[in-house]
Structure 1
Amino acid sequence: MEFGLTEEQVRVYTEAFNDMDKNHTGVLQPTELGILMRSRGHTLSDEDMRDLAADRHGTVTLADFLQIMAKREQDVVLQQKLAQAFAVFDKDGSGFISVNAESDFRKQMTSLGSSPFTDEQFENFLSEYRAEAASQHPAEQDGLVDYQA
């Protein structure tokens, strides 16, 4: 597995890169990369652009593209795993889980694993969530968190 991608993914991404490389130069301009990424269902992030700007030529090679796509694929897999883990606690399928003192989620987070959260660490975790989700969901009032926030 090159770059952490399967052989099939490398083949598909290489073909897509080569299709976009109309002049057969072996490099793409950032605007071409943006188009290619959108065609693959991804957007080119500001972080990606900063990484590309660090390249003295400002162009993207196939290896650069494969590295970007490998990171994206890893992110997709991680998001799927997180959604599956969240679903374990979302017993009614509402998209929300309780974080009150009696909740299964809180109990699991503060008791299982080799280094479970202390109550203080769990509260810090929740305060970060609440700060992040404040505009989207009133987590503080209803004692629920949702996966999307």
Structure 2
Amino acid sequence: MLRLASFANVRKAVSHHEDKVAVNTLIQGVDELRKYGGRIVVILCTNRLSVLDAALRRRAAIVEEFTRPDIAERKELFSMDLAGMGLSDKQLSELATVTGERNGQPVWTYSDIRTRLYPTAMAKAFPNRPLTFQDLTDSILSMRPSPVMEDK
């Protein structure tokens, strides 16, 4: 037992060291970009902003935090993405509503809608017929939004 616990502690220490090396390498890479005199943009994304290394965050000129879309933003997304379907305002509002918080589930993310909902709904229709409002609502009701990642 002692040997196994010791191995776990060593592995944890090695893993922590590897993490530090990776962060330091990333910071050095970002610092090296200064030679371009501000003519380059670096975009770093995380769903755990609070655990991002402070030294890396200090180098950011802008930090943008994206939250899950509210009902108006979801309706606008559906309106833009599904414009060719000829959905009514009422149908767009319904899609925005059912992708909101319900049954203890969180609000759907933009990614949930674009990378999960649309392909699932399309699979119901393709290749036999065009996508319908019913395909979208059936898919929404059979799916769950991605879980909220705690950032603390």
TM score, norm. by length of structure 2: 0.28
Q: Which has the higher contact order (CA 8 A, sep 6+)?
A: 2
Relative to its length, the structure with more strand (as a share) is 1
TM score, norm. by length of structure 1: 0.28
Larger Cα-atom Rg = 2
